[in-house]
Structure 1
Amino acid sequence: MRKIIENYGSILLLLLGIALGSVIGLLTPHAVEYIKPLGDIFLNLLFVSIIPLLFFAISSSVANIQGENKLGKIIGLMSIVFLVTIVLASIATIAVLYFFPVSSGMASAGVMESPTADNSSWGDRIVKFLTVDEFNNLLSRQSMLAFVIFSFLIGIAARRAGAAATAFTSFLNAGNEVMKQLLLLLMKAAPIGLGAYFAYQVKTIGPQLFGFYAKPMALYYGFGIVFFFVFFTLYAFLAYGRKGPATFWKNNIVPSLTALSTCSSLATMPANLDAGKKIGIPPAIANVVIPLGNTLYKNGSAISSILKIYVAFSMLGWNFFDWNTIITAIGITVLVTIVAGGIPNGGYMGEMLMISVYGLPNEAVPAVMIIGTLVDPLATILNATGDTVAAMLVTRLSNEKFAPSST
């Protein structure tokens, strides 16, 4: 019993906090406004820690990679894993929709206004997405990919500087350790913070699941849960053999609960990095793949992207199961997984990309935006926890060894 408490005490406390939050959200929704600030404070503390965590984790990891070809090998393998698995998620979703078609029933559900169109050129959008024009803008969550690229380049520059950068590399390593300890302190408040935020999620999102969107939502949550357990178990097995599934799922509980409670991949990243350490993913791989995957790798967004395109086509009476449409949908989905940011409800940018490419009329806009909101909890779990299993696959493909940590 003592051993169970030592190993799973923090998880049990987290489950208790979320359970209490669920009860409060369901039975006393009027009390949510009083406890939600506790969740907001916890989430804000996580968010302000993300920027220095990303910087030190990525730059120190890259700076300490030995060998000129190792970094390029990690990035190359990571790109292959991301692309192949996202395409697999898209194809699997298309197959499920083909065999289990759903009727949208949402022709009159235009309850949201269409957003203002962005008339800037694609070149301008790419520039804004990858870079910022002022250093202080890097410190915003809206510029996460630009910040990741900057941190990555700092690590490369430290490597190129060689012995002259020894002191700077030591600073990066020390900063990485300090941020890890800070996050350990913050996570001690997780049962209270996530419980409060989960109460808010139950109060606001739960009732909306029983409306016009019941069938698409049932399909997404049904298939998404199957995908979560079946595909991630398969990936863990391919990466780590028989030990893989048990090791992955044992250490994926806290990241999954964090993602479910916050609907934020960014807030889940610290838990993913800790899980990666316990699984035994080499730091040089985990500290590159997991932060980059937080922005670039999203299984949940891939599944919801296909579903939203299908629902929009169904609502308009268009044929989705045309090869040109399907190939375009997969291409859009790959882009959406890059565009969707690691913040709550960050998929709206990807939805606007979809609408722009297909030229969907205004009446289709509310449907895809509402679906994007309602699938956010499960989509975040798939998006966030997929980063860890992707890092496991990169470890296997790079012939590195797993070294599980018991701490």
Structure 2
Amino acid sequence: MLYTVIVPLIFFSVANAIVSIGELKRLRKILMNMMGTFIFSGSVAAIFMIVFVIMFPPTQGVVLKLTQTVTVQSINIGDQITNMLTVPDLTKLFLPGNMLALIFVAILVGIATTMTGEKGKPFADFLQAGAEIFMKLITFIMYYAPVGFFAFFAVLVAKLGPTLFESYVRTTVIYYAAGVIYFIVGFTFFAFLSGKNAGVKTFWKNVTAPAMTALATCSSAASIPVNLQAVRNMHVASEINETVIPLGTILHKQGSILGGVLKIAFLFGIFHMSFLTPFALGSTWLVAILVGTVMGAIPSGGMLGEMLILSVYGFPPQALFVIATISIIIDPLATVLNVVGNTVCALLIARLMAVKKVFIKSTVASI
């Protein structure tokens, strides 16, 4: 049922957040801090995983026969940007696959409502009421979350079980070990930056629900409602929360960045290419950021990200099947890292915005 409320919740939350911000100057500041935080945290994730795969090469002892043929289509960047921000007609705007276009329209609606002034106040109240109603609906749905979690996870284990014990055991262990370490150490580090020990305590107190939802659904979008509520419980201002979480879900995926590095290192290994050259390391960082950031905004962006890896390094089309398999294996934990990465980024952005919060022991004034 989470999928049925995602679209209206995002529309009302984002539009209401823009109206709550009020001034376009303040909105600009939030968006600038958001992009800076996303680049910083994404870079940390990429560098961490690069070091990890250097220490533990994912293809050590692995032998693969690339016999399956795959047709790789060329990437038309212009078309992808158009598809990312627009839809053919209004009805398609409200499909989960067109999330970025929906967010873009919601931002414009919020700006237009703000600029209308007093005459737009009834509509602003409607947006606020809609956001509150759908958040309340989420609380009802989450009563059944434990049942959904165990049912979905049972299906997931049955689906992935045979694959895990074939050619990708070492790769699986490396990603899940790195992911768990990054989840604990990396996110604790970001939470500490946001509010020192109090920030760490607040983060870990509220992170369970979005993490479990992400693990059960393997969907960042389906986790948006629960993540919004979790960040709200962390006392992050609503205009930051309701802007950062929906946009971050599309544009910022730390789990995918870790996965992008792993896929590149894996392909370098099976094709006997040196991963320790300056070009390989630098390009891996950049491509991983693109895979986890820009490509996440495009429908079917995961496949496009994998095609980008192949095109940048000149790997043969058969390699697409290899990294697509890795994507399936790492998806549960990658989704958790994607979702919780935005949770902790919301805390960092609140700190950068100098918003006085319960968990931040600071004397800065609330803006």
Measured against the shorter chain, the TM-score band is over 0.9
Q: How far off is 1:100 after superposition?
A: 2.3
Q: How far off its partner does 1:340 sit?
A: 4.7
Deviation at 1:293, TM superposition (A): 0.5
Task: Look up the match of 1:160.
Answer: 115
Letter paired with 1:102: P
Question: Residue 3 of structure 2 aligns with which residue?
Answer: 47
Q: Measure the CA separation in 2 of the matches of 1:269 and 1:122.
A: 28
Shift of 1:208: 2.2
* 1:58 equivalent among 4, 7, 14: 14
CA–CA distance in structure 1, aligned partners of residues 267 and 244 of structure 2: 33
CA distance in 1, matches of 2:243, 2:289: 20
**Post-superposition offset of 1:49:** 0.6
CA positional deviation for 1:309: 0.6
Q: 1:177 aligns with which of 132, 155, 175?
A: 132
- Structure 2 Cα separation of the partners of residues 117 and 232 of structure 1: 36
Indicate which of 268, 273, 282 corresponds to 1:313: 268
The reply to whether residue 148 of structure 1 matches residue 109 of structure 2 is: no
Choose the corresponding residue for 2:92, options 108, 129, 137. 137
Deviations 1:127-184 (A, max 9, x none): 1122222121211222111111111111111112222211111110111111111111
Q: Distance in 2 between matches of 1:261 and 1:86?
A: 24
Once the two structures are superposed, the pairs formed by residues 375-390 of structure 1 within 5 Å of their partners are: 375-390=330-345
In the TM superposition, what is the alpha-carbon distance from 1:358 to its structure 2 partner? 2.3
Between Structure 1 and Structure 2, how many residues are aligned? 359
Pick from 19, 34, 50 the counterpart of residue 78 of structure 1. Answer: 34
TM-score, length of structure 1 as denominator length: 0.84
Does 2:65 align with 1:101?
no
Structure 1 gap segments, 5+ residues each:
1-44
Query: Contact 1:263–1:345 at 8 Å: present in 2 too?
Result: no
The aligned runs of 1:213-362 (5 Å cut-off) are 213-341=168-296, 347-362=302-317
User: Which stretch has the larger CA shift, 173-182 or 92-101?
Assistant: 92-101
Alpha-carbon separation, structure 1, partners of 2:73 and 2:118: 47
Question: Is 1:401–2:340 an aligned residue pair?
Answer: no
Query: 1 CA distance for matches of 2:114 and 2:76?
Result: 36
SS of 1:212 mapped into structure 2: coil
Alignment partner of 2:318: what SS? Answer: helix
Task: Specify the SS of the correspondent of 1:272.
Answer: helix
Same amino acid, percent of matched pairs? 37
Contact 2:295/2:305 (CA < 8 Å) preserved in 1?
yes
- Kindly indicate whether the alpha-carbon contact (under 8 Å) linking 1:251 and 1:275 is maintained by their aligned counterparts in 2: yes
Letter in 1 for 2:253: K
Partner of 1:192: 147
Identify if the C-alpha distance between structure 1 residues 370 and 231 changes in structure 2 by more than 3 Å, giving closer, same or farther.
Answer: same
> Which residue number corresponds to residue 201 of structure 1?
156
2:24 corresponds in structure 1 to 68
Given that residues 100 and 297 in structure 2 are in contact (C-alpha distance below 8 angstroms), is that contact kept between their aligned partners in structure 1?
Answer: no
- The residue type paired with residue 215 of structure 1 is R
For residues 53-99 of structure 1, what are the alpha-carbon distances to aligned partners after superposition, in whole Å with 9 as ceiling and x for unaligned?
00000000101113332111110000000001101111111111222
Do the aligned residues in 1 keep the contact of 2:187 with 2:341 (CA within 8 Å)?
Answer: yes
The CA deviation string for residues 79-124 of structure 1, in whole angstroms up to 9 with x for no partner, is 000001101111111111222223255543547652x433463211
TM-superposition CA deviations, 1:383-402 (whole Å, max 9, x none): 01111100000001110022
Q: Which moved more, 1:340-349 or 1:306-315?
A: 340-349
- Cα 1:141–1:340 shift into 2, 3 Å: farther
Q: CA deviation at 1:240?
A: 1.6
* Aligned mates of 1:252, 1:207 — CA distance in 2: 31
Structure 2 CA distance, aligned partners of 1:120 and 1:363? 17
Say if 1:62 and 1:112 are closer, same or farther in 2 by CA, change over 3 A.
farther
Q: Is the 8 A contact 1:340 1:346 kept in 2?
A: yes
- The RMSD of aligned alpha carbons is 2.0
Tell me by how many angstroms 1:357 deviates: 2.5
Pair 1:259–1:310, CA change in 2 (3 A)? same
**8 Å contact from structure 1 (residues 77, 394) kept in 2:** yes
Label 1:121 to 1:362 Cα distance change in 2 as closer, same or farther (>3 A): closer
Aligned residue identity for 1:83: I
Q: CA distance change for structure 1 residues 343 and 356 in 2, over 3 Å: closer, same or farther?
A: closer
Q: Which amino acid is 1:200 matched to?
A: V
In structure 2, what is the Cα distance between the partners aligned to 1:213 and 1:391? 34
Deviation (angstroms), 1:344: 12
Contact 1:141-1:343 at 8 Å conserved across structures: no
